Structure 1
């Protein structure tokens, strides 16, 4: 019996090859796209879940409000763990001290490999307890960091520097002066982690004088809680302990300092804290892509259901004949459902193959490492089987239950209406489908405009024709000589040397105070960048008051050039010659010699923050503004100079505009993914509309023939066949436009600097939808209108 169902289903599908092909193509492309999105979403939701005790691990996140300015920090004070070690709810405690924290930011880490020095960034100071909290299994040795100058490295790092995993007991040479004994090799940190370190150095290696104290944040403190711990109570206790070490002004007059225990599994997607260890994800984007996946699946299913219901009237006589020959209703229902499930099954198999083939391209686009693994199969196969059954039954339910209920005598007399325009269900599904498509078109236009706005915005500095020579720290004292020689080259307009660039990753944040004695409630956090006298000119930053640094002014060693946000934050009406103070290895005083126009040095999602340039030697990257004439020759000349200084060190460079694009790569990547998925959704919707238009033309073949005999023109017939669909598209425009405007306006609110949704975006989306629909329908309409009327009327 079952075999007969499949045999009959196969024959029926083969008989209608065109409709079957449209169904299979639309459904397989839709399912393949959904699979890729599901892999992306699952990957984002899997961050840090590799830890066996992830549910018990928390990070201490600090929120400080001072003088009306509230900021949330991923790090907190170094002494906090020691001060709270006796809290009974804490089972284990450990900390990460990244090398870019404010009291270590000046350090550059060069690891010796043979005769070469390799500059590394994925380095952290910690202690052995971190391996008791996080699941970082050792493949050699025992992760011990209790002794000074000990290190644990990852497997790939061992291969990189020693070409073997058997490195326990060997020595790492850092900056030519520090020697670390390797105590263990661990497996590489999983990519789905909120940190990604290659070198774990012993915390006790940090000199006591540079470890910081209360008021110096940047330490990422982690705790493992005992079962049943009261989190709110713990947070209050930590706050009370901290207040014992701060003046009363920290928690009066609207100021406060609070600590929250952030669940480990919330850090990647839900954290709003500054200075995370890695680029954060966004739960908002997870929701957006999940909705897009649902939209695409719905569009593909609507295609399937629409064509199934459209074809159902053609099969009414088949149902009547089967009933006359004795077929029971339940067998007819099973027959229709079998056909539907068979199409869904074939489409699903093709979808899996498509997703597998497209996975490398998708990984490149999304910067992921997704793959069909054994663990993914455990949830994928049951999910796919469920999809096959659900979609198959939904698409086949209308013809199965509706047509099988007809009386055979009525059907065979031709009393069943086959008119296309009379189907409310099909009209509703077309409106629903195009509402989603128009929503996605508007979203695509808004995202494109925002990305264009980001790319074209005047950032306050000139990023064009700026060459950055990287890793100059490996040259030591010769880096400054290299800069001077580059300045003398033909084609170089100016050159500067600093680690801190607006498009770079390095940041140095410090606390500054407007007056003495130091009152911690007046602490203002500001970026604090050591630069030289050529920095302003090379980057094209505009001075609006005061002057630039000068090597002839001895007092400039304590001078600052600050931005407008700095002046506003301190409340200075006349900032020139004002003095601000910093406490770092003793009290330091700085006077303001110039004010520069605000420039963007972080994501456009954030307001511009205070930044102060300090006149100080920094062996960072050499950055040069260059002429485009004979650029390749100039780069070759610089490389030759580099090799004269250090023949064994690799020469590398980039251009600032490329680095800028990298800064906003996350937004661009998400935008590209959204646009790609939206385009696929629209194409799938058009595929379904194409099938419906073909069916509508087929249903009205005799009417078209009669109209042509009576003198109707081709344009009249095309207009007649198209208007039914175009009306539905206009209804979809009315429904989708306000919903899309609201949703995309909410998305734009995340950007401090953003474009607005103009009226023409909605109008353009509507016009695009109408044009796409008309173009799709016109092919079938023109084909029907050009057909010979004799053929359609021959049997009448």
Structure 2
């Protein structure tokens, strides 16, 4: 019986090869998209789940009690760790502080100076950690002991990847690496590489006992300055049924902790909250060490889009199957007369669907495997982190194939098996004309194009938001600015490098400062204005820099003057937002006022006010900011180029000259650089991923929809051949025949636009809400989506309709 079903199915599919090809192609694309999105979603949801105690580990965050909608701060004051261990001794070994080193030069000394290898690590793979760190997070140790490897100062643990990078195939244990040409660390342990799904993606662990000597933190007794590179993690006891959760209990106890250790004015606004480790990856508004996050909303969007695309492929199948039902009506009549039951006919037609789906499953696996590298790059998934050939993924594909067979084949099987034999044998079944089948097909076409237009509208809005990011006025000039790390802020070296660079053609201005105006590395500190005897409850962002900073970045001075050259804080320039927070409406009113900042006791004068500039991405508001001199915090060199229009060759030549000057000044360091506009583009990686994903999936959904539309129109043209011949004999033009086939579909596409527009507006408005600075959703975006869909639908319909219109009416009238 099964062999008979299979043989009959193959014959039917071969007989209707064009219909079969369209269905297989549509199902292949739908299944491939679903498979790739499943792999991506599974990858995102697996972050940090490899830790055995992941559900008990929390990150401690600082929140502003007066601003419940504010962004919590990951930076924790340095003495908090010792105080927590003192007040909560039961957590002594389940509590740890991790300090990330964002960028550092690592040197591996050779026997001779020329044999020394140097590596500039800029991806945040280095961190200072304690032995307790390995009590919380799971690693596989190849050499050394997690209890003792980082106990002593100047020790380091390396991942297997980094160990091979630094030392090749030699045994690294006992070898030495030098950090920033000033501190040596001895290798005391080797661990397996961290998993790509870890929020703690460190490859180099330096002993936390050396963090103060390295100069990475604020003073050990400073409770006012948060060090943004340090984060505290704790592992709490397992939850008990019916009792208060350990996290809630700990947060309640931390209220007293804040009151005990922080100044009264700080305790009024500060609250420590606990963030579960398993939620860090999904908190897009809070930085994490992996520097990669995705929202839960985006995860659900990927799931829904995958289902939508598979749904469009299934709609194709249903449309074509019901459209072609009349062809098989006599076959059904004969089978019923010969004794076939309806159940047997349903199984026969489901068998045909399963053959098509089986072909599509195999092809989908092949297409997905070829597309995986591209999708991985698009979604920022590390190469090799996911695979299609795992039991879970293959099991999902098999289940998806079964689901597709049922979704796509069950209704057409019921329709075909339900024909009355007498009517079927007399040829009185009119499945393609009027009635419920036509209504169903129209509804399904509307559904297909509604999904496609939803994605098209999303793509148009995302494109315009991305264009806004690139063109928005940030309050400074980001074009043609070259930035480089400053490894040593010695005054003599700074003066020497400035002199070497100043003489180079193509350089307009050179500035030394802590960071560029917009940066992910920020220093927030307290201040006291005028005669105030306490902090106002909010901090200011410091931008220490020399006097060329304003000119190099094109900042606009609204009132007063720039501060005078100095090595320490002498005079202050503030931004508009800070001026208004202080209660002044005009820039001139704040000039000459005194304030203390950055923990200093001597009041400094405000000598100027600059126009607001964005210090973060456009997701966030401009914050109060202070520009001043403080050479000890200069970490970046900024070079304003006179032009970037000299072509690649001109820029390359200038970069070589800059590198020569830089290397002559810092011969023991590795030269690296970035263009500021390219650095700022990295702020919006996740948004770029959303746009690219919408773009790709909208195209696929539209293509699948057009495949089905093409098949339905082809079948309509075939069944209405005689009608077309009669119309042509009576004088109908080609344009009239084209309109006969096209107008109905245009109406369906417009109905789909009406349905999809409010849904698209709601979804994309929610997406835009996370940006402080954003575009407005305008009517023309929906009109453009409609025009695109109508144009593509007309293009799809045109081939078959014009072909039917140009057919010789004599042949048309002879057709049966």
Could you say whether these structures have the same fold, taking a TM-score greater than 0.5 normalized by the shorter chain as the test? yes
Q: Pick the aligned partner of 1:140 from 136, 143, 150.
A: 143
Shift of 1:352: 0.9
Moved more, 318-327 or 507-516: 507-516
Could you tell me whether the CA contact under 8 Å between 1:472 and 1:479 is conserved in 2?
A: no
Shift of 1:557: 3.7
| Residue in 2 that maps onto 1:367 | 380
Q: Pick the aligned partner of 2:478 from 449, 452, 463.
A: 463
2:691 is equivalent to residue 671 of structure 1: yes
| Residue in 1 that maps onto 2:32 | 32
| Residue in 1 that maps onto 2:320 | 307
Could you tell me whether the CA contact under 8 Å between 2:71 and 2:285 is conserved in 1?
A: no
Query: When the two structures are superposed, what TM-score results if normalisation uses the length of structure 1?
Result: 0.92
- Summarize deviations over 1:474-520 as a string: whole Å, max 9, x none: 99953441122211222211111224013554332223232566525
Could you tell me whether the CA contact under 8 Å between 1:116 and 1:648 is conserved in 2?
A: no
Could you tell me whether the CA contact under 8 Å between 1:566 and 1:611 is conserved in 2?
A: yes
SS at match of 2:526: strand
- Summarize deviations over 1:723-776 as a string: whole Å, max 9, x none: 222221121111111121122112111110011011111111122222221211
| Residue in 1 that maps onto 2:159 | 154
| Residue in 1 that maps onto 2:232 | 221
Q: For the residues of structure 1 that align with 2:766 and 2:256, how far apart are their CA atoms?
A: 38
Could you tell me whether the CA contact under 8 Å between 1:492 and 1:627 is conserved in 2?
A: yes
Moved more, 617-626 or 716-725: 617-626
Shift of 1:794: 1.9
Q: For the residues of structure 2 that align with 1:81 and 1:655, how far apart are their CA atoms?
A: 38
Query: When the two structures are superposed, what TM-score results if normalisation uses the length of structure 2?
Result: 0.90
Seen in structure 2, the aligned counterparts of structure 1 residues 691 and 462 have a Cα distance that, compared at 3 Å, is same
What RMSD, in angstroms, separates the aligned Cα atoms of the two structures? 2.7
SS at match of 1:612: strand
| Residue in 2 that maps onto 1:755 | 775
| Residue in 1 that maps onto 2:94 | 93
Seen in structure 2, the aligned counterparts of structure 1 residues 446 and 599 have a Cα distance that, compared at 3 Å, is same
1:150-229 to 2 correspondence within 5 Å?
A: 150-164=155-169, 166-207=171-212, 210-218=219-227, 219-228=230-239, 229=245
- Summarize deviations over 1:26-57 as a string: whole Å, max 9, x none: 11112212222222222211111121211111
Seen in structure 2, the aligned counterparts of structure 1 residues 784 and 311 have a Cα distance that, compared at 3 Å, is same
| Residue in 2 that maps onto 1:113 | 108
SS at match of 1:768: helix
SS at match of 2:640: strand
2:145 is equivalent to residue 130 of structure 1: no
SS at match of 2:529: coil
Shift of 1:692: 1.1
Could you tell me whether the CA contact under 8 Å between 2:487 and 2:669 is conserved in 1?
A: no
Could you tell me whether the CA contact under 8 Å between 1:480 and 1:497 is conserved in 2?
A: no
2:545 is equivalent to residue 531 of structure 1: yes
Q: Pick the aligned partner of 1:358 from 349, 353, 371.
A: 371
- Summarize deviations over 1:241-294 as a string: whole Å, max 9, x none: 22122344456xxx4432222111001103643576624322222222222212
Seen in structure 2, the aligned counterparts of structure 1 residues 533 and 249 have a Cα distance that, compared at 3 Å, is closer
Q: Pick the aligned partner of 2:308 from 295, 307, 319.
A: 295
Shift of 1:304: 1.7
Shift of 1:90: 4.4
- Summarize deviations over 1:67-103 as a string: whole Å, max 9, x none: 9995411233444444444548748433334256xxx
SS at match of 2:94: strand
| Residue in 1 that maps onto 2:254 | 238
Q: Pick the aligned partner of 1:611 from 625, 636, 639.
A: 625
Could you tell me whether the CA contact under 8 Å between 2:136 and 2:235 is conserved in 1?
A: yes
Q: For the residues of structure 1 that align with 2:426 and 2:290, how far apart are their CA atoms?
A: 75
Shift of 1:467: 2.3
| Residue in 2 that maps onto 1:713 | 733
Seen in structure 2, the aligned counterparts of structure 1 residues 559 and 82 have a Cα distance that, compared at 3 Å, is same
Could you tell me whether the CA contact under 8 Å between 1:741 and 1:757 is conserved in 2?
A: yes
| Residue in 2 that maps onto 1:570 | 582
Q: For the residues of structure 1 that align with 2:471 and 2:316, how far apart are their CA atoms?
A: 40
Moved more, 428-437 or 85-94: 85-94
| Residue in 1 that maps onto 2:12 | 12
SS at match of 1:211: coil
Seen in structure 2, the aligned counterparts of structure 1 residues 193 and 695 have a Cα distance that, compared at 3 Å, is same
Shift of 1:606: 0.8
Q: For the residues of structure 2 that align with 1:409 and 1:71, how far apart are their CA atoms?
A: 72
2:704 is equivalent to residue 699 of structure 1: no
- Summarize deviations over 1:374-399 as a string: whole Å, max 9, x none: 79622212211211112112222123
SS at match of 2:72: strand
